[in-house]
Structure 1
């Protein structure tokens, strides 16, 4: 069964496709009469705005409510809460290298 938001979305998309068809037809009429295209007629602009509002409202109402993200406390350890990557220091073998290495020629 189709829900009310689904009907709104389908109606908005059908109005959008109708507006697209009407704009294409309008442009063809302008080409036949050899006039330049300046802007859309007001009726097509209103129809396009109505299509955007209908389809956006339907799409927003179709989505389910957002759920909060909760991390289970089981997997947490004391180290995860106090882990600070900025204060980590790494001891490796680079300390054994001489500081003044001559460049290769």
Structure 2
């Protein structure tokens, strides 16, 4: 349902035109569909020569193109559905792994 959020004033997201698949006859049958999205991640690793140090250096970025998730009009997290999509924004990281 796209209703039960604004406590009857207006009585639903359908009334506001914010529901993606409204049912004008029975609002309880209205559905808010979230679109799909694709995130692109990139990771590079470099293994140091073992005679120098048995280590691997890694750097990467999640969500390279800073793609936003589709807006969820009925979600409580500012239009973001954390159960279906990665955290918003680009994320950089680096790590080093050493074998002893």
Is the TM-score greater than 0.5? Answer: no
Q: Please tell me the TM-score bracket, short chain as reference.
A: under 0.3
Q: Which has the higher strand share?
A: 2
For normalisation by structure 2, the TM-score amounts to: 0.23
Q: Which has the higher helix share?
A: 1
For normalisation by structure 1, the TM-score amounts to: 0.23
**Higher RCO (CA-CA < 8 Å; seq separation 6+):** 1
